Structure formats: structure tokens, C-alpha cells
């Protein structure tokens, strides 16, 4: 029973208490770079979550085989292999998303969230905990990117997941789909997130 | 002429940090003091130029002829990681004062996505040549340095400002970055 409670906590910490974007500020480049729409945010979130899950699994499986001095380069190779897989799969099956995300797909390699979890969690814990940790952290990242993308899309283009709810020629806050809007939207979402998480705990 | 356009585009119009969102981690992380941000900019200039040069040659003469283009991401990140280590070791031996100045920033650069990002973007330049790729890397690192140093100077002033409780820390920094990015948006259409 205690084991089960631990895993639930392990899962939930990534979404609220240690949310990778709003609390730990990891992986800021894709967070700001691709969230001009909710769909892009979701796509990037899912791609990152997949890489995080697979790298956490592999790292926790081979952790005892890797000498500690070369562990960082070894982790980077493991991560880079999965990023290459994601890159190929996206190019083949979702070319639209592949073009939208562009340079940020190969850059999943240097997302500090993934290397951070490999180093801080998967290299010290068993495979089950590592999977749960990756799912929780990954989901936290997906939620954060989708919320940020949706906020920017609603304000900036007056639509949500491409569904337009204002007139074609209506004036929207175009600023929010431009680069400065990313910083400003994230700033206020962080304030909101802190407010809510302080209230609940 | 080409080169002037690359320089202006990289420094002002498509600033690597403020409009392309590469290298945000060091931008937010080491920008609390102007002196550290100068050190970081120097280290990035050094590594980015060297890394772009090596990865460009590797791509042109090894990966493409061998048909291994899809290994680009893996190769580049390994080269960058190895290069950073090597630069650190060489600097320590050859130029201790420079090592003192840049030393602490070097390990951080491996995970600076601006370095990998510029190495990949440099492959896609029109009529690319080695010289152009290297110049592109230098221009981008100047853009990175400009954004970082301006941001650090604003943050030093911010220390003394009276900020609402909920905005303290990360949110106010992001907001300042947003306003800075808005200012750089004014350069749109320059080239």
C-alpha cells in the first residue's frame, strides 16, 4: 500500500509541486519557441514526453553498466538516439507539425528537463519509479505547453486548436503570437500558477 | 554585402535569444550581474564559432558523402560536448587568465541550445560556405552577448525596484525579457 502511495506522489509531483516549466524553469527554449498555438504546444509536449519516457527507461536499465565518469556523454547519446527517431517519425507521418516545430525538434536533445531527469532520477532509481517519474514530469510539461499555447492562440488569433471563435476580420492581440507575447504570457501564467499552488498546499 | 546583412539580421532582426528563443536557460540563469554575463558571452562566442566550424566541416565532408545525414543530431551534440571539454583542458594549460574568466561557464555551454541550434541553422544558409557559416556563428554570438548584457544591466536596476509580491523572481524577469523582445521587434523589416 505504501508503495502505491509513493508512486502516486511520484507521479503527481511533476504536474504540480515540481512542474518543469512553471516551477523548475527547465526546457524554456521550446516552451517559448513553439507555443504560438495550442496544437504546436501539444505536439512539442508529446514529442518531449516520449523522449523523456524512453530515455528514463533505458538509463535506469543500464545505470549499473555505465562508469560514473562518462555517464553524461552516455546519457546524451541515449537521448540523441531517441530524438533522431522522433525526428524521422514526425517527418514521415506529421510533416505539417515537423515544419512548424522546425529547429526545435533536434534541440530536444539539449532540453535540460530530459538530461536533468536522467541524471537526478533515472540513474538512481528502479525502472518502475523511473517510468512513473517520466510520465508525471512529461505530463506536467505537456500541460504547461498546451496551456501556454492555448492562451497565446486565444489572445493572439482568437481561436483554439484552429477553431476560430471570432469574426475573420476581428482585431486580436497579435502581440501574443509574436515573440514578445511568449515571454509576457508565460510571466503572467507563472504568477497565476504560483497563486493557485500556494492556495492548494 | 551578404555579410553585412547576415550580421544585422543576426544581431538585431532575428536576435537569437529574443526572437528565436535559443539559449534561454543561460539568458535567464546567468544574467543577474553584468560582469558574469560578459564572461558568459565571451565563452559562447568562443565555443559557438569553433563548434560551427567543426560541425560544418564534418557535415560537408563526412556525413553527406557517406549518406549519414540522419545522424546529424547525434554527431553534432557529441562533437560539441567533446569540444567544450577540450577547450577547457587546453585553456587551463595555455592561458590560465582566460581560463579563470571563462572556466565556470564552459561546462554550462554543452547544454546551451544556442550552440547546437546555430550549428544546425548554419547548414541551411543560402549559398553556404565555411566562411559564411563561421561568420553566421560570430554574428549570432554577438547577438547573444548583446541581449544578455542589456538584460543583465536592466536586472541590476531591478534589484532596487519595488516589485509586487507575486511578481518577484521569475515572472518579473520574464516580463522584462518580453519588453526587451518587444523593443527588438522594432528592427523588423530592417533587412
Residues 77-106, chain A, touching B (beta carbon < 8 A) = 77, 80-81, 83-84, 87-88, 103, 106
Check residue A2 and give its pLDDT. Answer: 58
> For the segment B94-134, what is each residue's pLDDT rounded down to a tens digit?
878 878 777 667 777 776 788 899 999 998 887 778 999 99
Could you report the predicted ipTM of this complex, rounded to two decimals?
A: 0.85
A71 pLDDT above the threshold of 80: yes
Size of interface A-B (CB pairs under 8 A): 109
Check residue B67 and give its pLDDT. Answer: 85
| Residue A181: inside a domain | yes
| Residue A185: inside a domain | yes
Q: How far is CA B181 from CA A4, A130, B114, in A?
A: 46, 38, 17
φ, ψ (nearest 5 deg) of residue A16: -110, -70
Check residue A43 and give its pLDDT. Answer: 92
> Measuring CA to CA, which residue among B8, B3, B43 is closest to residue B23?
B43
Cβ(B136)–Cβ(B118) below 8 Å: yes
More confident residue, A68 or A176: A176
> Measuring CA to CA, which residue among A157, A180, A179, A183 is closest to residue A170?
A157
Q: Do B166 and A194 touch (CB under 8 A)?
A: yes
Beta bridge partners of A160: A163
| Count of domains forming chain A | 1
Residues 27-86, chain A, touching B (beta carbon < 8 A) = 28-30, 32-33, 72-73, 76-77, 80-81, 83-84
Mutation target among A29, A105, A114 for the B interface, most CBs of B within 10 A? A29
Q: Do B21 and A115 touch (CB under 8 A)?
A: no
Q: Which residues of B96-131 are buried (b: 16+ CB within 10 A; e: fewer)?
A: eeebebbeebbebbbbbbbbbbbbbbbbeeeeeeee
Angle between helices B130-158 and B113-121 (to 10 degrees): 150
Residues on chain B touching A197 (C-beta within 8 angstroms): none
Closest approach of B51 to chain A, Cα-based (Å): 15
- When pLDDT is cut at 50, 70 and 90, the band that residue A22 belongs to is confident
Check residue B103 and give its pLDDT. Answer: 66
CA distance A86 to B84: 26
What one-character-per-residue DSSP string does B135-161 give? HHHHHHHHHHHHHHHHHHHHHHHHTTS
Mutation target among B55, B68, B74 for the A interface, most CBs of A within 10 A? B74
Closest approach of B21 to chain A, Cα-based (Å): 5
| Residue A33: inside a domain | yes
Element (H, E) at A122: none
Q: How far is CA B90 from CA B57, B58, B103, in A?
A: 21, 21, 11
Q: How many residues does chain B have?
A: 191
Q: Which residues of A56-69 are buried (b: 16+ CB within 10 A; e: fewer)?
A: bbbbbeebeebeee
Residues 10-69, chain B, touching A (beta carbon < 8 A) = 18-25, 28
Cβ(A38)–Cβ(A150) below 8 Å: yes
Grid cell for residue B105: 561557464
Closest approach of A2 to chain B, Cα-based (Å): 36
Query: What average pLDDT does this structure show over A26-42?
Result: 88
| Residue A104: inside a domain | yes
Query: What average pLDDT does this structure show over B16-27?
Result: 87
φ, ψ (nearest 5 deg) of residue A159: -145, 165
Task: State the residue range of the domain holding A39.
Answer: 11-200
Burial of B149 (0-12, 13-18, 19+ CB in 10 A): middle
- When pLDDT is cut at 50, 70 and 90, the band that residue A1 belongs to is very low
| Residue A156: inside a domain | yes
| Residue A66: inside a domain | yes
Cβ(A30)–Cβ(A51) below 8 Å: no
> For the segment B47-94, what is each residue's pLDDT rounded down to a tens digit?
899 999 999 999 999 988 888 888 888 999 888 888 888 888 888 888
Query: What average pLDDT does this structure show over A51-78?
Result: 89
Check residue A201 and give its pLDDT. Answer: 62
Grid cell for residue B55: 560541425
| Residue A2: inside a domain | no
- For chain B, which residues make up each domain, given as ranges? 2-185
Residues on chain B touching A178 (C-beta within 8 angstroms): 185
- When pLDDT is cut at 50, 70 and 90, the band that residue A3 belongs to is low
Q: How far is CA A166 from CA A5, A154, A161, A163, in A?
A: 46, 10, 13, 9
Amino acid at each position: 500500500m505504501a508503495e502505491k502511495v509513493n508512486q502516486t506522489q511520484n507521479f503527481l509531483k511533476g504536474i504540480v509541486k515540481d512542474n518543469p516549466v512553471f516551477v523548475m524553469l527547465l526546457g524554456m527554449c521550446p516552451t517559448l519557441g513553439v507555443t504560438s498555438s495550442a496544437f504546436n504546444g501539444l505536439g512539442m509536449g508529446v514529442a518531449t514526453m516520449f523522449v523523456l519516457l524512453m530515455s528514463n527507461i533505458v538509463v535506469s536499465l543500464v545505470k549499473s553498466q555505465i562508469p560514473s565518469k562518462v555517464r553524461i556523454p552516455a546519457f546524451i547519446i541515449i537521448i540523441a538516439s531517441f530524438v533522431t527517431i522522433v525526428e524521422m517519425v514526425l517527418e514521415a507521418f506529421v510533416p505539417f507539425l515537423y515544419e512548424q516545430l522546425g529547429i526545435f525538434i533536434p534541440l530536444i536533445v539539449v532540453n535540460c528537463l530530459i538530461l536533468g531527469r536522467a541524471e537526478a532520477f533515472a540513474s538512481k532509481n528502479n525502472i518502475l519509479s523511473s517510468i512513473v517519474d517520466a510520465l508525471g514530469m512529461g505530463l506536467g510539461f505537456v500541460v504547461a505547453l498546451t496551456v501556454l499555447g492555448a492562451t497565446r492562440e486565444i489572445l493572439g488569433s482568437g481561436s483554439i486548436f484552429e477553431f476560430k471563435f471570432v469574426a475573420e476580420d476581428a482585431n486580436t492581440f497579435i502581440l501574443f503570437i509574436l515573440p514578445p507575447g511568449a515571454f509576457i504570457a508565460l510571466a503572467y501564467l507563472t504568477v497565476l500558477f504560483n497563486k493557485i499552488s500556494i492556495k492548494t498546499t | 554585402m551578404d555579410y553585412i546583412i547576415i550580421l544585422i539580421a543576426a544581431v538585431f532582426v532575428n536576435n537569437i535569444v529574443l526572437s528565436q528563443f535559443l539559449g534561454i536557460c543561460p539568458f535567464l540563469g546567468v544574467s543577474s550581474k553584468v560582469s558574469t554575463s560578459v564572461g558568459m558571452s565571451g565563452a559562447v562566442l568562443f565555443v559557438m564559432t569553433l563548434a560551427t566550424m567543426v560541425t560544418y566541416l564534418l557535415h560537408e565532408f563526412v556525413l553527406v558523402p557517406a549518406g549519414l545525414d540522419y545522424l546529424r543530431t547525434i554527431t553534432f551534440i557529441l562533437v560539441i560536448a567533446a569540444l567544450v571539454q577540450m577547450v577547457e583542458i587546453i585553456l587551463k594549460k595555455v592561458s590560465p587568465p582566460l581560463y579563470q574568466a571563462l572556466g565556470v561557464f564552459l561546462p554550462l555551454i554543452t547544454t546551451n541550445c544556442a550552440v547546437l541550434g546555430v550549428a544546425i541553422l548554419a547548414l541551411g544558409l543560402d549559398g553556404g560556405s565555411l566562411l559564411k557559416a563561421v561568420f553566421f556563428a560570430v554574428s549570432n554570438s554577438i547577438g547573444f552577448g548583446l541581449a544578455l548584457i542589456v538584460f543583465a544591466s536592466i536586472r541590476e536596476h531591478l534589484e532596487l525596484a519595488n516589485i509586487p509580491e507575486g511578481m518577484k523572481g521569475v515572472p518579473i524577469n520574464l516580463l522584462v525579457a518580453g519588453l526587451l523582445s518587444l523593443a527588438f521587434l522594432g528592427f523588423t523589416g530592417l533587412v
